[in-house]
Structure 1
Amino acid sequence: MTSHGIPRSSTTPRTPQALEADLLKIEAYNTLVSQVQALKSTNTYSQSSLSTTSTLLEKNPEFNTIWNFRRRIILHLLSSSPSPENDKLALLSSELQFLIPLLKNFPKCYWIWNYRLFILQTSSAHLPLPISLKLWKSEMKLVEKMLSSDSRNFHGWGYRRYIVQNIESLRNIIKKETGGKEGGNGEGGEEESLVEQEFAYTTAMYGKNLSNFSAWHNRSKLIPRLLLERGATVEERRTFLDGELGEMQTAVYTDPYDQSIQLYNHWLLLSSCSPSPPSSSQPDLVFPLTNSQKFETLRRTLEWMRELLDEEPECRLLLEEMIFVGGLLRQLGDNEVEEIDREGVRQDMKGWLEKLLEVDPMRGGRWREMHERL
């Protein structure tokens, strides 16, 4: 039997003893599945049922219907009797602990992550909010460990954003209920927002690896809110933009072939230098620049890109970005920015497109069409 043209062969011969051992494992597994299915069909929601599902899920965490059965067991145990607060906390904490070894062995199993979120959400519904908040906050340690082992895991970044969102929401609710404090647990006075902390985290993460697309993406999502919460003035927003663009110039010079960096730089320029005026539905721009300031920003960007192109004449990503910047400049020329030599920019763009036809023939049809349009 072959797969993708590669023949499959057993590297080690299977002895009759090994086959017998596998058959015994299969039989034991099927017996365990039958036991759990019987408990499920009779709606037996007990600690014993919970333990039995644990044994099965440790063997097969992809068994989604068993995770659903486990959910019902947990909800029943929490609500069937007026359990003391500490007992509920112990139950939910033990569930979070049970999942740790499973996540280590099966880090990309959706059902485990979904169930973990269910436990955290359940804690918000069945525990005092300050206690539930502690569980949510402790989850940040797990996320940091996960991203330290795989810093570009976009599932991990999405999970982190969800945890942060819930921490902020709980803090906001507690603050309203307690008149400005998180509660009598010595943690009062914390800000509801984690945007500054998360922005600093993206800085640290891309500092370790410029290719971390998830860090750049998260950064772009945080910046509008960051500037809003800082109460940044128009001038402060422009200063912030200059700082980010300066970082991008250094980053692109470091590795012009890295798409993550180029995409973030692209977002910055599109957010700040788009020739379209703000619409009535979006009156407040993240980076409010005048047309003259947009021109100067694009001119400076194109200047250092030209210098880099002399060193990396066959960098497809750089050529594409220069065409994008040139297109923005030509559109600004329609907005009465007199300094722009639209014809000169057009000729430059044609030359860059001709170079792209050489270095990127696979997309030749696209570059030829753009060349004809110019």
Structure 2
Amino acid sequence: MHGRLKVKTTEEQRIEKHKQQQKKLAAYRMGMKQILSTRSIDSYEPESLAICTQILSGNPDIYTLWNIRKEIILIEIEKSKSNDIEGEDQLTKFLDNEIGLTETCLKSNPKSYGAWHHRYWVLLHHPNPNWTREFNLISMYLSYDDRNFHVWDYRRLILQKKGETLENEIKFSTNLLNENFSNYSSWHYRSTLRKLDADTVGNELTLVQNAVFTDPADSSAWFYLRWVLSHPNIPCGDKEEALESFEQLQELEPECKWVLLAKCWLTGSLCLNDKKHVDKRVEYYQQLIKLDPQRKGQYEDYLKAAETKKAVGDN
């Protein structure tokens, strides 16, 4: 009817989408051909570099193009050495543009391995790298997605360059975890910072117990708990108290397998000093087989080991 917009059919939309994809593919192939045909270890064509920038802005996961850009940067570094007056300024401007490209790429894909690796590599070759700016940028990215492990890995690298104190990083980690206990990346990052000893293990145990009591179904804090419990500096008395608290938690969360697993972890070390825990450990694995049948075989293996230890103890 007159005045009414024609709605394309599904088939028409599919055909149009296919044509657009083929057009992009043809442009990509032509661009890659141009870049690869002019690749050289001694010089480069600005036109090819511009095409490379355009392709990476749309797809930052083409490692070959990042490697080509590294070769070009090395060429620019050599050129800067032959120009004592303006060489460093020109190189700085060139590398700043390169850093800007990685920011563009990370906006389209914040989890691009190539973009993160290239950014750090460029900064290492930069005459005046701004590590403080990088540190602030990391905080911004974590505010967007605090589970982006690429950002956490990058933070560890920048931390060494900026010289941030361990105390401040521990405080930063604690604040993030208090905002969101359900963050495996934050827990893992904390484990790379915190060297457990007799002075710190108690605080870590308290922190992670608060987390698992807040959300018993979330697995991230439980894995950190297991790491803390594996440390030899935890007194048996603290382990006994933790076991008692998990007994109470199980009454509130009878269907949570993580509570039973934590009790198995605790009794695994406690039974070395007190045989009463051997029987409890057997009982816990029997409960896990019923509660989590998908991992029945795994628990049955653990149960056999626990029963063997029990039989040896009885004899």
TM-score greater than 0.5 by the shorter chain:
yes
User: SS of the counterpart of 2:261?
Assistant: helix
Match of residue 244, structure 1, among 196, 199, 204: 204
**Residue in 2 aligned with 1:321?**
262
**Residue in 1 aligned with 2:44?**
45
Structure 1 range deviating more: 18-27 or 346-355: 18-27
How far 1:317 moved relative to its partner? Answer: 0.9
Residues 303 and 54 of structure 1, relative CA distance in 2, 3 Å threshold: same
How far 1:210 moved relative to its partner? Answer: 0.6
CA distance in 2, matches of 1:309, 1:267: 21
How far 1:319 moved relative to its partner? Answer: 0.5
CA distance in 1, matches of 2:219, 2:151: 20
**Residue in 1 aligned with 2:240?**
299
**Residue in 1 aligned with 2:108?**
105
Give TM-score scaled by structure 2 length.
0.83
**Residue in 1 aligned with 2:5?**
none
Q: Aligned AA for 2:254? A: P
Note the alpha carbon deviations across 1:214-258, whole angstroms, 9 max, x for none. 11111122111xx8xxxxxxxxx5453322222222222111222
The sequence identity of aligned pairs, in percent, is 30
**Residue in 1 aligned with 2:137?**
142
**Residue in 2 aligned with 1:233?**
none
Give TM-score scaled by structure 1 length.
0.70
Given that 1:46 and 1:73 are in contact with CA atoms closer than 8 Å, whether structure 2 keeps it comes out as no
Find out whether 1:204 has 2:175 as its counterpart: yes
For 1:40-189, list aligned pairs within 5 A: 40=39, 44-80=43-79, 81-82=82-83, 83-123=86-126, 127=127, 131-132=128-129, 135-168=130-163
Q: Aligned AA for 2:94? A: L
**Residue in 1 aligned with 2:3?**
none
**Residue in 2 aligned with 1:173?**
none
CA distance in 2, matches of 1:15, 1:346: 64
Structure 1 range deviating more: 242-251 or 98-107: 242-251
Given that 1:213 and 1:260 are in contact with CA atoms closer than 8 Å, whether structure 2 keeps it comes out as yes
**Residue in 2 aligned with 1:353?**
285
How far 1:47 moved relative to its partner? Answer: 4.2
**Residue in 1 aligned with 2:251?**
310
**Residue in 2 aligned with 1:188?**
none
Given that 2:142 and 2:148 are in contact with CA atoms closer than 8 Å, whether structure 1 keeps it comes out as yes
How far 1:363 moved relative to its partner? Answer: 2.3
How far 1:301 moved relative to its partner? Answer: 0.9
**Residue in 2 aligned with 1:366?**
298
Match of residue 330, structure 1, among 252, 271, 288: 271
- Stretches of structure 2 lacking an aligned partner (at least 5 in a row): 1-8, 311-315
Given that 1:256 and 1:318 are in contact with CA atoms closer than 8 Å, whether structure 2 keeps it comes out as yes
CA distance in 2, matches of 1:161, 1:148: 17
CA distance in 2, matches of 1:347, 1:15: 64
Given that 1:46 and 1:77 are in contact with CA atoms closer than 8 Å, whether structure 2 keeps it comes out as no
Q: Aligned AA for 2:98? A: E
User: SS of the counterpart of 1:40?
Assistant: coil
CA distance in 1, matches of 2:153, 2:184: 13
Q: Aligned AA for 1:312? A: E
Given that 2:257 and 2:292 are in contact with CA atoms closer than 8 Å, whether structure 1 keeps it comes out as yes
How far 1:20 moved relative to its partner? Answer: 5.8
- Stretches of structure 1 lacking an aligned partner (at least 5 in a row): 1-9, 169-192, 228-236, 275-286, 334-339
Given that 1:319 and 1:356 are in contact with CA atoms closer than 8 Å, whether structure 2 keeps it comes out as yes
CA distance in 1, matches of 2:287, 2:280: 11
Residues 33 and 248 of structure 1, relative CA distance in 2, 3 Å threshold: closer
Note the alpha carbon deviations across 1:5-34, whole angstroms, 9 max, x for none. xxxxx9452487776665554444433333
Residues 77 and 238 of structure 1, relative CA distance in 2, 3 Å threshold: closer
Given that 1:45 and 1:77 are in contact with CA atoms closer than 8 Å, whether structure 2 keeps it comes out as no
